[in-house]
Amino acid sequence: MFTMAGSRHVVAPDEIAKLCYEHFDELPRRGKPEPGREWTPLAAVVKMSQCANSNKVEKEVVSLGTGTKCIGQTAMSPKGDVLNDSHAEVIARRGCIRYLIHELHRAVTGKGSSVYCQSMHQGKWRLQPGISFLLFISHTPCGDASIIPVNGSHFQPSASVTSIKNNQGTDIGGLKRKAEVLISVQNFNRPTRGEKDTEETKQEDILMSKRASPLPTSLSKTGDECPQNTSAKTHQETILHSSAYSELARNTSSASSINHTVCESFNSPVYDTLRTGAKSVPGGLTDPLQPGLGYHSTGLLRVKPGRGEPTLSLSCSDKMARWGVVGFQGALLSHYLEEALYFSTVVVGKCPFSQDAMQRALITRCSYVSDLPAGFSVSPPVFLQAKLEFPFSQAQTLLQHKSGQGCVTPCGAAVSWCNVPDQPLDVTANGIKQGVTKRALGTSKARSALCKLELFHSFLSLVSSTDASVLPDSLRLCAEVAARRHFRNRIRRESLDDSISGFGSGRHRSCGNFVGKRCRPVG
């Protein structure tokens, strides 16, 4: 149990996780992962409402999302009718924006809102007293927050852990990715988030695996079927080697770019880090890619990896850090709100987790920001972790996997649900609605309700429903400029029509045709 500073809201991480998991279970089957074969992370926005004259806090899931995919740079649309980023955190946040626009629409039309109340400023609204929003994510966000130091007791041989060598210099950490994840699940039950690697990373893993020590047949086997069983003894013989850890720590400690304050939180020496598949932004600082602690540089802006083609979507760690400064409401809703909206708490489900890594990635990187406009501030959330694991996590999916199902893969669909009356459920794949035909591509039938274009249409509907006398100053100025432009265009059209009608009886000398818009009258 945790009591939020400055409020009486009591947050129980397990209660929040259970609420979100149950809400996901109640959704229709469409778009959900296939049990035992597909996995996906879950994110949700929970509205916390302090009851008047009591300590009771009502908790309501207002937006929920799943997803692991991003589209490549060439698939992006300049019209804003395609979802670029379908990671769960992004889907949940965009669904929450739909919910906030709907609640604001109710407020400006006098139907009453459970979220907003009027501000003292012209046309501005603010959250009702006792209302706050919490973000739940079933897994640590991709990017900088996933770079978590590990030591001997916390060591996890997974796709995100660098390889190590034994005393003879033989690479013993180059296990195939599937085998590594399986060992991690069976012996630790806390694997890293399986971020989609680029072809370059995959080639590195293949080369590493070729140099590895001989593996048991069940581990070196390739094909569609994933290996099913490995022993703890094999794991110990293949991965753990205390002298190798000591040598690795001595060789990489000076070159390590991991924040030492993170390492100090462990009781034993830190020898390695969990890796992230997110790559540093082009043109910026890059990862050293050295063994052990020297593989990653922390604090970098990163883009999410794609399937061969690079993406332009920043990692979820970077986006969540931005939300802690400019708010999660977006630029459009900022016209109506007196203050930006911030998540008071971030609850993470059972998974690899580091309080220090979350603090570094989501707060410390932005702590220097100053001179923000009125209504904005650096607002760090509280980080909590639940003990309940998402049933469709990668770890649980591997445990439920059965022979004949093929390899475990991330789910290709993204599910969005938000508390709005019109189309609350939205299922997409590759940035568009799942199941649309080629003929419908580029039309409204293919557009997700979460894409930029649809959110903009919702905002325009909100503006048109707002009485002109109570429009926010920023929108009133825009409306006045648009009205003057419309008036000038109408005057020009009327003048043109009058000039044309005045020459209606004029004819060309040569052909005798009536003068048209492109013809000059002749006497």
- The closest of 333, 323, 332 to 377, measured between CA atoms, is 323
**CB atoms closer than 10 angstroms to residue 360:** 22
**CB atoms closer than 10 angstroms to residue 51:** 11
- The closest of 65, 61, 97 to 332, measured between CA atoms, is 97
Q: Determine contact, residues 137/151, Cβ cutoff 8 Å.
A: no
Task: Select which of 38, 89, 389, 454 is catalytic.
Answer: 89
Residue type, 163: S
Q: What does the DSSP assignment read for 10-71?
A: EE-HHHHHHHHHHHHHHS-STTPPPTTTEE--EEEEEEEEEPTTSS-EEEEEEEEEE-EEE-
**CB atoms closer than 10 angstroms to residue 132:** 21
Q: Checking DSSP bridges between strand 270-273 and strand 149-151, what pairing results, if any?
A: antiparallel
Whole-angstrom Cα distance, residue 487 to residue 78?
29
Identify whether 38 is a catalytic site residue.
Answer: no
DSSP at 133: E
Residue type, 272: D
Tokens 């706050």 correspond to 132
Whole-angstrom Cα distance, residue 35 to residue 23?
17
478 Cβ contact list (under 8 Å, min separation 6): none
Q: What does the DSSP assignment read for 161-201?
A: B---B-TT--B-----HHHHHHHHHHHTS-PPP-PPPPHHH
Q: Determine contact, residues 24/393, Cβ cutoff 8 Å.
A: no
- The closest of 383, 329, 344 to 361, measured between CA atoms, is 383
Q: Checking DSSP bridges between strand 57-66 and strand 68-70, what pairing results, if any?
A: unpaired
Which helix (H) or strand (E) is 493 found in, with range? helix 473-502
- The closest of 494, 399, 459, 447 to 104, measured between CA atoms, is 459
Which residues are marked as active site? 89
